[in-house]
Amino acid sequence: MIAPIAGFSKFSKEEKIEWLANTYFHDRETVISMLKRYWNSDEKLQKLHDEFIENTITNFYLPLGIAPNFLINDQMYAIPMAIEESSVVAAASKAAKFWLDRGGFKATVLSTEKVGQVHFMYFGAKEKLQHYFHHIKPELFATTNHITQNMEKRGGGITNIELRDKTDELNGYYQLHCTFETVDSMGANFINSCLEQFAKTFATAAEAFDAFSAEEKDIQIVMSILSNYVPNCIVKAEVSCPVAALTESESVDANEFAAKFIRAIDIAKTEPYRAVTHNKGIMNGIDAVVLATGNDFRAVEAGIHAYAAKDGRYSSLTHAEVADGIFRFWIEIPLSLGTVGGLTSLHPLVKLALEMLGKPNAKELMQIVAVAGLAQNFAAVRSLVTTGIQKGHMKMHLINILNQLEATEAEKAYFVTYFKDKTVTHSAVVNAFTTYKSENAS
């Protein structure tokens, strides 16, 4: 049994790697060599990456790709996407090119409200708590002036504080439900700082509130934390065109395609098993751009999936219809993003990605990210109702399989041509590769 280690965080990076290699691996030299191969030769840049998190031992690379030809609100974009999954960037690019000749994408930010809550327990008279809240509310704003002044100069700040009674769901449970405008920052640190000050003021001032009994003055703060569910921070993206313009081949009937496409969306609205995979495809596009621009894709994922279940049943995030001969496809999602603060000003590739996008503000980035999700979904559903998803996906996956087989560049070129008119499966590639190597053995 491996013994616990004390003081690991105080080890140097070299010492951490030595301990890891000696403790968990047989071939320690290979492990050490591999970890160091991924260090950046620029020591200053490497130190910057080392300090993003704790106990760093090396860098973990993801491909950064580009999906060009996105026309969004009459402006052209090449969208950066950081992702490891085959075919995502290709699918986004294909959708962008398809809609480029059909008016492009339109996107609108509908609202930008962020949420944070102070969760507390109180077991006294409800009317006294209501009276106390109205008494203390102005002071809650006043005691956060030192936190909010810079945000207010940029047009943001605290927009409201409400007292919410949740005792029907949990005995004694109440919350201060607080809303914020954080402009171009995601605002997590700002919101949490405000909430912690609210909690301190709310609990402390209760001790001097004369209407409370001694027991009622004991307001028990449980926690103060922002919420990643932002149902009032919404962006909408859409595409539309005449039904007749939906197909690029005379062999595919446009009306039939539109009907099958809408039916596929309706199935994702109705069937949660399908909706989860349907929305995962949307998140392929969203997460890739969120990650490339230094935002928190985990917070975005959590908030969007909660929104997909807002009506009590998990459902499709996208919608489609035909009205008066016009096909419409759209998405409305909550997105809490920032273009200042955090990694946006630290990670060199994040700064490059944002510059590539024209240094967008938070609202513009919300629109770009929503469009990436919509494009990804269009490409996936289009494939599903026509050729099937595997044809394009496995063609892209072919290179990954060949890399696993350690194929040379010449062999890769040969098999790309070989499988041009064949179905790509892992076993088919392995068998063809083995036969090829056997027939060409010297």
**Residue 55 counted as domain residue:** no
Output the CA angle 230-73-259, nearest 5 degrees: 80
Query: Catalytic annotation on 85?
Result: yes
Query: Catalytic annotation on 280?
Result: yes
Residues 49/59, Cβ–Cβ less than 8 Å: yes
Distance between CA 301 and CA 286 in Å, rounded?
9
Segment 161-169 long-range contacts (CB within 8 Å, at least 24 positions apart): 161/137, 161/198, 163/129, 163/130, 163/133, 165/126, 167/126
Q: Which helix (H) or strand (E) holds 319?
A: strand 318-323
CA atoms within 13 A on the CB side of 430: 4
Which of the following is catalytic: 18, 50, 85, 301?
Answer: 85
**Residue 322 counted as domain residue:** yes
pLDDT for 394 equals 64
**SS3 state at 51:** coil
Picking from 166, 198, 227, the residue at the C-terminal end of a domain is 227
Whole-Å CA distances, 4 to 9, 16, 23, 104, 207 = 13, 14, 11, 57, 45
Query: Catalytic annotation on 412?
Result: no
- What's the CATH code of the domain at 132? 3.30.70.420
- What's the CATH code of the domain at 355? 3.90.770.10
Picking from 227, 251, 266, the residue at the C-terminal end of a domain is 227
Same domain, 118 and 80: no
- The widest CA-to-CA distance across the chain, in whole angstroms, is 95
Nearest to 240, CA basis, from 165, 328, 304, 155? 328
**SS3 state at 41:** coil
Same domain, 334 and 364: yes
Dihedral sign, Cα of residue 434, residue 435, residue 436, residue 437? positive
* 80-134 residue pLDDT tens: 999 999 899 999 999 999 999 999 999 999 999 999 999 999 999 999 999 999 9
Q: Tokens 């076993």 correspond to what residue?
A: 427
Distance between CA 360 and CA 408 in Å, rounded?
42
- Residue 269 tokens read as 């609205």
Same domain, 327 and 247: yes
**Residue 56 counted as domain residue:** no
List the alpha helices (DSSP H) in 3-42.
Answer: 13-24, 28-37
| In the predicted structure, residue 359 carries a pLDDT above the cut 80 | yes
Q: Tokens 């569910």 correspond to what residue?
A: 229
Same domain, 76 and 212: no
**Residue 418 counted as domain residue:** yes
363-379 burial, b at 16+ Cβ within 10 Å, e below that, comes to bbbbbbbbbbbbbbbbb
> Domain total for the chain?
4
CA atoms within 13 A on the CB side of 123: 5
Mean pLDDT of the region 260-289: 98
The residue that leads in pLDDT, 325 or 423, is 325
| In the predicted structure, residue 228 carries a pLDDT above the cut 90 | yes
* 30-87 residue pLDDT tens: 999 999 999 999 999 999 999 999 999 999 999 999 999 999 999 999 999 999 998 9
Share above pLDDT 70 across residues of the chain, in percent, rounded to a whole number: 98
| In the predicted structure, residue 289 carries a pLDDT above the cut 70 | yes
**Residue 3 counted as domain residue:** no
Same domain, 407 and 344: no
Distance between CA 243 and CA 257 in Å, rounded?
9
Distance between CA 96 and CA 376 in Å, rounded?
9
Residues 209/227, Cβ–Cβ less than 8 Å: no
**Residue 206 counted as domain residue:** yes
Which of the following is catalytic: 260, 280, 305, 351?
Answer: 280
Q: Say if residue 287 is exposed, middle or buried (CB neighbours under 10 Å; 0-12, 13-18, 19+).
A: buried
Distance between CA 265 and CA 287 in Å, rounded?
21
pLDDT for 247 equals 86
Mean pLDDT of the region 276-280: 98
Per DSSP, what are the bridge partners of residue 223? 119
**SS3 state at 253:** coil
DSSP E strand boundaries for 64-183:
64-72, 75-82, 106-109, 114-121, 157-165, 173-181
**Residue 2 counted as domain residue:** no
Distance between CA 408 and CA 78 in Å, rounded?
31
Nearest to 122, CA basis, from 172, 168, 169, 166? 172
Share above pLDDT 90 across residues of the chain, in percent, rounded to a whole number: 83
Same domain, 350 and 266: yes
Strands 234-242, 173-181: pairing is unpaired
Same domain, 273 and 377: yes
Same domain, 132 and 179: yes
Same domain, 246 and 187: no
- Residue 65 tokens read as 């790709």
Residues 334/308, Cβ–Cβ less than 8 Å: no
Band (264; pLDDT cuts 50, 70, 90):
very high
Query: Catalytic annotation on 347?
Result: no
Same domain, 218 and 284: no
Nearest to 382, CA basis, from 255, 262, 271? 262
Same domain, 344 and 241: yes
Same domain, 297 and 313: yes
Q: Residue 223 is part of which domain span?
A: 114-227
List the alpha helices (DSSP H) in 64-144.
Answer: 88-100, 126-142
Which of the following is catalytic: 181, 296, 364, 397?
Answer: 296
Picking from 227, 258, 277, the residue at the C-terminal end of a domain is 227
**Residue 277 counted as domain residue:** yes
Q: Which of 94-98, 295-299, 418-422 has the lowest mean pLDDT?
A: 418-422
